[in-house]
Structure 1
Amino acid sequence: MLPADLPNLGDGRVTLRAFVNDDVDLVRSVARDPLIPLITTVPASGSHDDALSYIARQHERLRTGAGYSFAITDQHDQCIGNIGLWLSSIHQGRASTGYWLAPAFRGRGYAKRALSILSGWAETLEDVARLELYVEPWNEASWRCAEACGFEREGLLRSWQQVGDSRKDMFMYSRIRVDESAQAEASPRSGGGVA
């Protein structure tokens, strides 16, 4: 059973929590990023009202069944980005994740911590057997982050997603919850071999 409420998750340095209206300045600041408004619902306008509407939409994600949308915050509870656990294929035991960080916070290990926290939590959810992540091939920092968090690259999805005015290829990554009882049954038993 999936949680009905958005939890607070963290590791002491990074916390994943619900967005609050005080996060509006961070949302407004990433409207100028060349990629974030193209691949997310962050408004390109950068207006205060549009940023507040974005925050309100994040609260609706769980209610509508779309998934869990978290603000990524640093140790001072300053919002630095967004990460989500998306549930469009949960009936098949699959969820997906995606994240963004404001440019000023990139390269400091925050994305890796946030992805590790979210992935670890997803593995505790009985309904999530497989966690997927899609990354454009040029985005080496993002796919290295995924690999550092236990995701494995499964292949290249050609012309997978519309980004702006063009179709983009995506690397497909996944992280699978290991069923230890099934693994034990599948492993060869010691002894009793043919001589």
Structure 2
Amino acid sequence: MPPTPLPPWPVAPPAHGGILLREVVDSDLDMVRELATDPYIAQTGTLPADATEQHARGWIAQQRGRHGEGAGFSFTMADAATGAAVGHCGLWTAELGAGRATAGYVVAPSARGRGFAADALIALTVFGATVPGLFRIGLYIEPWNAPSIRTAERAGYDREGLLRSYHRIGDRRRDMLLYGRVLHGGSGARP
């Protein structure tokens, strides 16, 4: 079965609270390089640890191409008051044909502790509810990651279970908590 085509990029940036979600742009370079200073981020995604300017620019280009290749929506989290880039999040749609997507979020170290991740996840979830055929968004969170668990719960996601040895992070397989949000049309849906 061919992949389900994505709807167009949103005309109005999704927003909630102190965050708006916009396209990843070249001027996000400093924020991307700051993300690369967190060794955990390098283990969980495609941004290398201590990324050089060249690596960071390549990562930005990769994120800008995600929608066009049908992988999903890759957003920069921007502080709604200042426009400054404070993190990154994405809605990944590999299973859109089955009505499912996953989400991920990360905040730059200098911007943590201000509720940006929860605001971004709420904005991303509200946006996800506008994607035709999307009924559920899942999150995979390591059990030790209390800040991410709080973010998921603040954004209305429910803990659904523990997936043992589910995902490779770094050099070993890790347990992951599964959090989910049913958007509409199913058991457990919320407005």
| TM-score, length-scaled by structure 2 | 0.90
**Greater helix fraction, Structure 1 or Structure 2:** 1
Pairs within 5 Å for 1:35-74: 35-74=40-79
CA contact (8 A) 2:77 2:89 kept: yes
User: CA separation in 2, counterparts of 1:90 and 1:167?
Assistant: 26
Q: Which residue of 2 aligns with 1:5?
A: 9
Q: Does the C-alpha gap of structure 1 residues 131 and 110 become closer, same or farther in structure 2, counting only changes over 3 Å? A: same
Q: Deviations over 1:99-123 (max 9, x none)?
A: 1011111111000100000001111
2:102 to 96, 103, 126: 96
Q: Deviations over 1:127-178 (max 9, x none)?
A: 1101100000000111111111111111000011110011110000110023
User: CA separation in 1, counterparts of 2:141 and 2:18?
Assistant: 25
Q: Which amino acid in structure 2 is aligned with residue 86 of structure 1?
A: W
Q: Which amino acid in structure 1 is aligned with residue 73 of structure 2?
A: Y
CA contact (8 A) 1:158 1:168 kept: yes
- Give the number of the structure with larger relative contact order, counting CA–CA contacts within 8 Å between residues 6 or more apart: 2
3-state SS of paired residue (1:132): strand
> Which region of structure 1 is more displaced relative to structure 2, 88-97 or 12-21?
12-21
Q: Deviations over 1:58-78 (max 9, x none)?
A: 011001111000000112111
Pairs within 5 Å for 1:148-163: 148-163=154-169
Pairs within 5 Å for 1:1-195: 2-7=6-11, 8-11=13-16, 13-74=18-79, 75-179=81-185
| TM-score, length-scaled by structure 1 | 0.88
User: CA separation in 2, counterparts of 1:154 and 1:64?
Assistant: 30
3-state SS of paired residue (1:157): strand
Q: Which amino acid in structure 1 is aligned with residue 48 of structure 2?
A: P
**Cα RMSD (Å):** 1.7
Aligned length: 182
Larger C-alpha radius of gyration, 1 or 2? 1
